[in-house]
Amino acid sequence: MKECNFSYEKMSDNLFLFEPLGKSVQSISIGNFILDYNMRGILVGIEIINASSTLAECVTDKDTCLCFLSSLKECYFEIKKTDNFLILKLDLKSKIEEIHPILYLSFENLPITC
Protein backbone atom coordinates (compact mmCIF):
# COMPACT_ATOMS: atom_id res chain seq x y z
CA MET A 1 0.00 0.00 0.00
CA LYS A 2 1.09 3.55 -0.70
CA GLU A 3 1.40 5.97 2.16
CA CYS A 4 -0.42 9.18 1.37
CA ASN A 5 -0.92 12.61 2.76
CA PHE A 6 -4.38 13.40 4.05
CA SER A 7 -6.60 16.24 5.13
CA TYR A 8 -9.92 15.97 6.91
CA GLU A 9 -12.22 18.99 6.82
CA LYS A 10 -14.60 18.64 9.75
CA MET A 11 -16.98 21.42 8.63
CA SER A 12 -17.61 19.84 5.21
CA ASP A 13 -16.95 16.27 6.42
CA ASN A 14 -14.64 15.59 3.47
CA LEU A 15 -11.52 13.43 3.63
CA PHE A 16 -8.77 14.04 1.08
CA LEU A 17 -6.11 11.37 0.42
CA PHE A 18 -3.36 12.33 -1.98
CA GLU A 19 0.10 11.37 -3.12
CA PRO A 20 2.60 14.01 -1.98
CA LEU A 21 4.14 14.54 -5.42
CA GLY A 22 1.04 13.82 -7.49
CA LYS A 23 -0.38 16.57 -9.68
CA SER A 24 -4.04 16.29 -10.58
CA VAL A 25 -5.14 17.38 -14.05
CA GLN A 26 -8.64 15.90 -14.12
CA SER A 27 -11.25 14.62 -11.69
CA ILE A 28 -14.04 12.08 -11.99
CA SER A 29 -16.92 11.81 -9.55
CA ILE A 30 -18.36 8.40 -8.58
CA GLY A 31 -21.00 8.65 -5.86
CA ASN A 32 -19.36 10.05 -2.70
CA PHE A 33 -15.89 9.83 -4.24
CA ILE A 34 -13.94 12.22 -6.41
CA LEU A 35 -10.94 10.61 -8.08
CA ASP A 36 -8.08 12.82 -9.23
CA TYR A 37 -5.59 11.57 -11.75
CA ASN A 38 -2.53 12.94 -13.46
CA MET A 39 -1.86 13.46 -17.17
CA ARG A 40 -0.73 9.81 -17.54
CA GLY A 41 -4.04 8.57 -16.12
CA ILE A 42 -2.59 7.45 -12.78
CA LEU A 43 -4.72 8.05 -9.72
CA VAL A 44 -3.06 10.61 -7.45
CA GLY A 45 -5.85 11.65 -5.11
CA ILE A 46 -9.18 10.65 -3.63
CA GLU A 47 -11.78 12.83 -1.96
CA ILE A 48 -14.41 11.09 0.15
CA ILE A 49 -17.46 13.31 0.48
CA ASN A 50 -19.51 12.89 3.67
CA ALA A 51 -16.68 10.75 4.97
CA SER A 52 -18.22 10.07 8.37
CA SER A 53 -21.35 8.61 6.76
CA THR A 54 -19.41 6.81 4.02
CA LEU A 55 -17.02 5.15 6.49
CA ALA A 56 -19.46 4.79 9.43
CA GLU A 57 -19.90 1.04 8.81
CA CYS A 58 -16.22 0.54 9.62
CA VAL A 59 -16.46 2.02 13.11
CA THR A 60 -19.07 1.88 15.87
CA ASP A 61 -21.29 4.73 14.64
CA LYS A 62 -21.25 8.10 12.85
CA ASP A 63 -20.29 10.07 15.99
CA THR A 64 -17.37 7.72 16.64
CA CYS A 65 -16.42 8.08 12.98
CA LEU A 66 -16.29 11.88 13.33
CA CYS A 67 -13.87 11.52 16.26
CA PHE A 68 -11.91 8.92 14.32
CA LEU A 69 -11.53 11.16 11.26
CA SER A 70 -10.60 14.17 13.38
CA SER A 71 -7.74 12.24 14.97
CA LEU A 72 -6.24 10.56 11.88
CA LYS A 73 -2.49 9.92 12.09
CA GLU A 74 -1.68 7.79 9.03
CA CYS A 75 -3.37 6.88 5.76
CA TYR A 76 -2.51 4.34 3.10
CA PHE A 77 -4.34 3.35 -0.04
CA GLU A 78 -4.17 0.80 -2.79
CA ILE A 79 -6.16 0.92 -6.02
CA LYS A 80 -6.98 -1.95 -8.33
CA LYS A 81 -9.00 -1.71 -11.51
CA THR A 82 -11.16 -4.54 -12.82
CA ASP A 83 -13.43 -4.52 -15.86
CA ASN A 84 -16.39 -3.17 -13.87
CA PHE A 85 -15.03 -1.86 -10.57
CA LEU A 86 -12.37 0.25 -9.02
CA ILE A 87 -11.35 -1.48 -5.79
CA LEU A 88 -10.11 0.96 -3.17
CA LYS A 89 -8.35 -0.52 -0.15
CA LEU A 90 -7.69 1.88 2.71
CA ASP A 91 -5.66 1.64 5.90
CA LEU A 92 -6.67 4.50 8.16
CA LYS A 93 -5.02 4.86 11.55
CA SER A 94 -6.07 7.30 14.25
CA LYS A 95 -5.48 7.75 17.94
CA ILE A 96 -8.72 5.83 18.54
CA GLU A 97 -8.38 2.77 16.28
CA GLU A 98 -7.42 1.44 12.87
CA ILE A 99 -9.85 0.58 10.10
CA HIS A 100 -9.22 -1.24 6.84
CA PRO A 101 -12.19 -0.70 4.53
CA ILE A 102 -12.35 -2.16 1.05
CA LEU A 103 -14.63 -0.13 -1.20
CA TYR A 104 -15.95 -1.17 -4.60
CA LEU A 105 -16.71 1.72 -6.92
CA SER A 106 -18.68 0.86 -10.03
CA PHE A 107 -17.74 2.62 -13.25
CA GLU A 108 -17.85 2.40 -17.00
CA ASN A 109 -14.99 3.44 -19.25
CA LEU A 110 -13.10 5.62 -16.79
CA PRO A 111 -9.66 6.65 -18.11
CA ILE A 112 -7.82 5.55 -14.97
CA THR A 113 -4.65 3.49 -14.83
CA CYS A 114 -3.55 1.91 -11.57
Q: Tell me how many domains the chain contains.
A: 1
The neighbouring-strand residues paired with 12 are none
Residue 8: the pLDDT is 94
- The CATH code of the domain that includes 50 is 2.170.210
Asked if the structure places residue 68 within a domain, the reply is yes
Asked if the structure places residue 111 within a domain, the reply is no
State the pTM of this model: 0.83
Computed over every residue of the chain, the mean pLDDT equals 85
Signed CA dihedral, 79, 86, 16, 59: sign only: negative
The neighbouring-strand residues paired with 26 are 37
Q: How confident is the model at residue 114 (pLDDT cuts 50, 70, 90)?
A: very low
Asked if the structure places residue 112 within a domain, the reply is no
In this predicted model, which residue has the larger pLDDT, 63 or 88? 88
Asked if the structure places residue 113 within a domain, the reply is no
Asked if the structure places residue 83 within a domain, the reply is yes
Angle at 90 between CA 86 and CA 92, to 5 degrees: 160
Q: How confident is the model at residue 13 (pLDDT cuts 50, 70, 90)?
A: very high
Asked if the structure places residue 21 within a domain, the reply is yes
The neighbouring-strand residues paired with 15 are 8, 48
Percent of the chain residues past pLDDT 70, beyond the cut = 90
Distance of CA 14 to the CA centre of its chain: 10
